[in-house]
A and B are shown apart, each in its own frame.
Chain A
Amino acid sequence: MEPSHRWIEHTAELQLELHARSEAAIFSQAVLALRELLEDDGPVTGDRAERSVEVEATDRGALLAEWLAELVFLAETEGLVPDEARDLVVGEDSVTAVVVGRTSEPRHLVKAVTYHDLELHRDRDGWRGNVVLDV
Chain B
Amino acid sequence: MSEPVRIDDTLWEIPADARDDMRVPARIFASADLLKAIRTDHSLEQLQNVATLPGIVDAAIAMPDIHQGYGFPVGGLAATAPPDGVVSPGGVGYDINCGVRLLAAPFTHGEIDARRRGALVDAIARRVPTGAGKGGRLRLSGSDLDEVLVQGPRWLVERRGVGTAEDVAATESEGRLDGADPDRVSERARERGAGQLGTAGSGNHFIELQRVEEVIDRETAAAFGLRRGQVTVLIHSGSRGLGHQVCTDYVRAMDAALDGHGIVLPDRQLSCAPLDSDEGRAYLAAMAAAANFAWANRHAIAHGIREAIAEVLGAGAADGTRQVYDVAHNVAKLEEHGGRTVCVHRKGATRAFPGQPVFIPGSMGTASYVLAGREGSMERSFGTVCHGAGRRLSRTAAKQQVKGEALRRELEAQGIAVRAASTKGLAEEAPIAYKDVDAVVRVVEDAGLAGRVARLRPIGVVKG
Pick out which of these stretches binds chain B: A18-26, A45-53, A74-82, A120-128: A74-82
Does B95 contact A111, Cβ atoms closer than 8 Å?
Answer: yes
Enumerate chain B residues within 8 angstroms of A13, measured Cβ to Cβ. 69-70
Report if B188 contacts A (CB, 8 A).
Answer: yes
Report the Cα distance A108→B95, complex, angstroms.
15
Q: Which residue of B lies closest to A65 (CB)?
A: B252
Task: Among B134, B397, B421, point to the contact of A9 (Cβ < 8 A).
Answer: B397
Does A76 contact B241, Cβ atoms closer than 8 Å?
Answer: yes
A100 nearest CB across to chain B (Å): 20
* Contact flag A116-B268 (CB < 8 Å), given A77-B192, A134-B70: yes
* Contact flag A113-B248 (CB < 8 Å), given A11-B41, A62-B255: yes
Q: In the complex, how many residues of chain A place their beta carbon closer than 8 angstroms to a beta carbon of chain B?
A: 36
Does B94 contact A111, Cβ atoms closer than 8 Å?
Answer: yes
Enumerate chain B residues within 8 angstroms of A28, measured Cβ to Cβ. none
Contact with B along A12-50 (1 / 0, CB 8 A): 111000000000000000000000000011000000000
Report the Cα distance A105→B133, complex, angstroms.
8
Q: For residues 27 through 65 of chain B, which have their beta carbon under 8 Å from a beta carbon of chain A? A: 41
Does A62 contact B252, Cβ atoms closer than 8 Å?
Answer: yes
Enumerate chain B residues within 8 angstroms of A9, measured Cβ to Cβ. 394, 396-397
Report the Cα distance A10→B67, complex, angstroms.
10
Does A10 contact B188, Cβ atoms closer than 8 Å?
Answer: no
Enumerate chain A residues within 8 angstroms of B133, measured Cβ to Cβ. 75-77, 79, 105-106, 108
Enumerate chain B residues within 8 angstroms of A77, measured Cβ to Cβ. 133, 191-192, 241
* Contact flag A116-B267 (CB < 8 Å), given A41-B424, A76-B132, A108-B132: yes
Does B94 contact A12, Cβ atoms closer than 8 Å?
Answer: no
Report if B131 contacts A (CB, 8 A).
Answer: yes
Report the Cα distance A40→B245, complex, angstroms.
23
Does A112 contact B424, Cβ atoms closer than 8 Å?
Answer: no
Does A12 contact B67, Cβ atoms closer than 8 Å?
Answer: yes
Does A41 contact B397, Cβ atoms closer than 8 Å?
Answer: no
Contact with B along A75-110 (1 / 0, CB 8 A): 111010000000000000000000000000111111
Report the Cα distance A14→B68, complex, angstroms.
12
Report if B164 contacts A (CB, 8 A).
Answer: no
Report if B366 contacts A (CB, 8 A).
Answer: no
Report if A4 contacts B (CB, 8 A).
Answer: no
Enumerate chain B residues within 8 angstroms of A113, measured Cβ to Cβ. 248
Does A12 contact B391, Cβ atoms closer than 8 Å?
Answer: yes
Contact with A along B422-460 (1 / 0, CB 8 A): 111100000000000000000000000000000000000
Does B422 contact A107, Cβ atoms closer than 8 Å?
Answer: yes
Task: Among A62, A114, A118, A135, point to the contact of B395 (Cβ < 8 A).
Answer: A135
Q: Which residue of A lies closest to B241 (CB)?
A: A76
Contact with A along B251-292 (1 / 0, CB 8 A): 110011000000000011101000000000000000000000
Report the Cα distance A10→B68, complex, angstroms.
8
Q: For residues 366 through 394 of chain B, which have their beta carbon under 8 Å from a beta carbon of chain A? A: 391-394
Contact with B along A47-68 (1 / 0, CB 8 A): 0000000000010011000100
Q: Which residue of B lies closest to A13 (CB)?
A: B70
Enumerate chain B residues within 8 angstroms of A79, measured Cβ to Cβ. 133
Enumerate chain B residues within 8 angstroms of A58, measured Cβ to Cβ. 256
Q: Which residue of A lies closest to B68 (CB)?
A: A11
Enumerate chain A residues within 8 angstroms of B394, measured Cβ to Cβ. 9-12
Enumerate chain A residues within 8 angstroms of B10, measured Cβ to Cβ. none
Report if A69 contacts B (CB, 8 A).
Answer: yes
Enumerate chain A residues within 8 angstroms of B132, measured Cβ to Cβ. 76, 106-110
Q: Which residue of A lies closest to B131 (CB)?
A: A107
Enumerate chain A residues within 8 angstroms of B203, measured Cβ to Cβ. 109, 111, 135
Does A115 contact B396, Cβ atoms closer than 8 Å?
Answer: no
Q: Which residue of A lies closest to B98 (CB)?
A: A111
Enumerate chain B residues within 8 angstroms of A135, measured Cβ to Cβ. 203, 395
Contact with A along B82-104 (1 / 0, CB 8 A): 00000000100111000000000
What would 23 A/B residue contacts be, using CB atoms closer than 8 Å? A11-B41, A11-B67, A11-B69, A11-B391, A11-B394, A12-B394, A13-B69, A62-B252, A76-B133, A77-B192, A105-B133, A107-B202, A109-B202, A112-B248, A114-B94, A114-B269, A115-B251, A115-B268, A118-B268, A132-B70, A134-B94, A134-B95, A135-B395
In addition to A11-B68, A109-B132, A115-B269, 8 A-B residue pairs with Cβ atoms within 8 Å of each other are A12-B67, A12-B74, A14-B395, A73-B188, A73-B245, A107-B425, A108-B202, A134-B95
Chain A positions near chain B (C-beta within 8 angstroms): 7, 9-14, 40-41, 58, 61-62, 66, 69, 73, 75-77, 79, 105-118, 132, 134-135
Q: Which 8 A-B pairs have the closest CB atoms?
A: A116-B70, A116-B269, A115-B268, A112-B94, A114-B70, A11-B68, A111-B244, A108-B132
